[in-house]
Amino acid sequence: MRRRDFLKLPCGLGALSAASMFLPNLARQARAATADSRFTIEAAWYKKLKESQVECTLCPRHCIVADQETGWCGVRNNNQGVYQTDVFGRPVTIHNDPVEKKPLFHFRPGSNALSLSTAGCNFECQFCQNWELSQFRAEQIPARYGFVSPDKLVAIAKRHSSGSIAFTYGEPVVFFEYMLASAKKSKAAGIPGIMISNGYIEPGPMEQLCEVLGAVKVDFKAYSEKFYKKWCRGTLEPVLKTMKLIHKKGVWLEMVHLTIPTLNDSEDETKALCDWVLTNLGPDVPLHFTRFRPTYKLKNLPSTPPATLEKQYKIAKKAGIHYPYVGNLAGHEGENTVCHHCGQTVIRRVGFSVIENNLEDGKCTKCKKPIPGVWK
């Protein structure tokens, strides 16, 4: 048993004792006793190995999972050589959020996104804002909505006039099957699916998602392999490959960089990141620099000074990024979308609210030039 899993064992509420969690069969019996059977389906991406082992091929971890054991993400298990997901149709939170909260600034501004997540993640970011969801196994968080099928998700989105369905909060890669099935249904209903992700996914499954998603926002942690390994327990290169693939497939892409004082806020790293974006994605991919606030296991650092974000914004502009932004600074001018051609503010925001929209058919009303994005 990994230390990460041991530390997350719940106390009380009828949970198994820590000692019993070392017995895989008891853990499995507890899971089966409390789960709707519809939550569990065969995983889409894995290989069968000898002695009932499996290799997960969904994300770059490629977990080798023995019979009756669970993958690193905590929501996939091996049942006698059949790899399964335990979170199909099992959201643990659902909200109707402004799409600006994701944040997506060039995708249907002013609309709401029906936003949901299951438990689990394939990273362990020490600064995770949603650790209560991402760092727990499925059976540790009650399925208070019961089984929510892809059809039901679409019905809920229609009932609440949601402009999209966002797979977000935790890490949607780990509920790939549910996201893919739901995005297919929502696309057919004219409600695009959007993926808010760390981008840590293999090319095959990402290509499948690109066929049905309307947009992807990648939470880009840092332009640093060392940062990914130390602070996220992941690696950088697969995330870069994911973003290049999304861009190549023509799916709308935005990037968010959570700027953490002393860890990923240097001028040199910001310049290197901007150079990579320009070379591999082009100048029109929005790049958001957002403010860090102490949380989860990283509470010894202060919130990001506004001046740091403003410096990054200026570096990006000077480098040639057409649409840089600052985030988590409500009312800052850096939240607004400014036409790259004539300088008119085409979308004015305060926090998650759009208070002025000077776009007509996706074009600036002043110079009539198109602004890259999905506006309807």
Domain membership of residue 365 (yes or no) is no
How many domains, the chain? 2
Indicate whether 124 and 255 sit together in one domain. Answer: yes
Please check whether residues 80 and 168 belong to one and the same domain: no
pLDDT tens readout for residues 319-356: 999 999 999 998 899 999 999 999 999 999 999 999 99
Q: Please tell me the predicted confidence (pLDDT) of residue 35.
A: 63
- Residue 174, pLDDT > 70, answer yes
Asked whether residue 117 falls in the same domain as residue 197, the answer is yes
Take residue 70 and report the two structure tokens written for it. 């669970």
Rounded to whole angstroms, what are the CA distances from 1 to 72, 290, 351? 11, 36, 43
Asked if 197 and 207 touch (Cβ cutoff 8 Å), the reply is no
CA nearest to 196, candidates 295, 326, 97, 277: 97
In this structure, are 187 and 156 located in the same domain? Answer: yes
Does residue 10 register a pLDDT over 90? no
DSSP 8-state assignment for residue 195: E
Tell me the residue type at 228. Answer: Y
Query: Is pLDDT at 8 greater than 80 in this prediction?
Result: no
Q: What is the side-by-side strand order in the sheet with 337-338?
A: 337-338, 345-350, 353-357
214 and 304 share a domain? yes
Query: In a 3-state reduction of DSSP, which class is residue 187?
Result: helix
Query: Can you tell me the distance from the alpha carbon of 67 to that of 79, in angstroms, rounded to the nearest whole number?
Result: 6
Q: What is the pLDDT of residue 330?
A: 87
Burial of 156 (0-12, 13-18, 19+ CB in 10 A): middle
Q: For residue 361, tell me if it sits in a domain.
A: no
**Percentage of residues in the chain having pLDDT higher than 70:** 91
Determine the Cα–Cα distance for residues 356 and 375; give it in Å rounded to an integer.
Answer: 14
Among 85, 111, 138, where does a domain finish? 85
Q: CATH number, domain at 234?
A: 3.20.20.70
Q: Return the SS3 of 159.
A: helix
| Domain shared by 227 and 324, yes or no | yes
Instruction: Please write the tens of the pLDDT for every residue from 246-264.
Output: 999 999 999 999 999 999 9
3 state DSSP class of 249: helix
Q: Is residue 351 part of a domain?
A: no
**6 confidence band (pLDDT: 50, 70, 90):** very low
Q: Where would I find the beta strands (DSSP E) of the chain?
A: 41-42, 46-48, 54-56, 64-65, 76-79, 82-85, 93-98, 112-117, 164-167, 193-197, 213-220, 252-259, 287-291, 324-327, 337-338, 345-350, 353-357, 359-360, 363-364
Q: Which of 274, 300, 288, 280 is nearest to 337 (CA)?
A: 288
Q: Provide mean pLDDT across the span 118-140.
A: 94
Q: What is the pLDDT of residues 65-108, one digit of tens each?
A: 999 999 999 999 999 999 999 999 999 999 999 999 999 999 99
pLDDT tens, 291-305?
999 999 999 999 999
Q: Give 24 or 122, the one with higher predicted confidence.
A: 122
Residue at which a domain ends, from 60, 85, 110: 85
Asked whether residue 186 falls in the same domain as residue 326, the answer is yes
Q: Is 359 part of any domain? A: no
What is the C-alpha separation between 252 and 241, in angstroms, rounded? 16
Average pLDDT for 128-132: 94
Q: Is residue 148 part of a domain?
A: yes
- Assess whether 101 and 249 both reside in one domain: yes
Asked if the structure places residue 347 within a domain, the reply is no
Mean pLDDT confidence for 202-210 = 98
Which range of residues forms the domain containing residue 37? 3-85
In this predicted structure, which of 3-17, 159-173, 362-376 has the lowest mean pLDDT? 3-17
Tell me, yes or no, whether 76 and 102 share the same domain: no
Residues 78 and 193 in one domain: no
- Residue 298: count other Cβ atoms within 10 Å of its Cβ: 16
**Are residues 37 and 153 both part of a single domain?**
no
**DSSP assignment letter at 138:** G
β-pairing, 46-48 with 54-56?
antiparallel
| In a shared domain, residues 17 and 81 | yes
Inside any domain, residue 357: no
Least confident stretch, 23-37, 99-113, 316-330: 23-37
Note whether residue 67 is domain-resident. Answer: yes
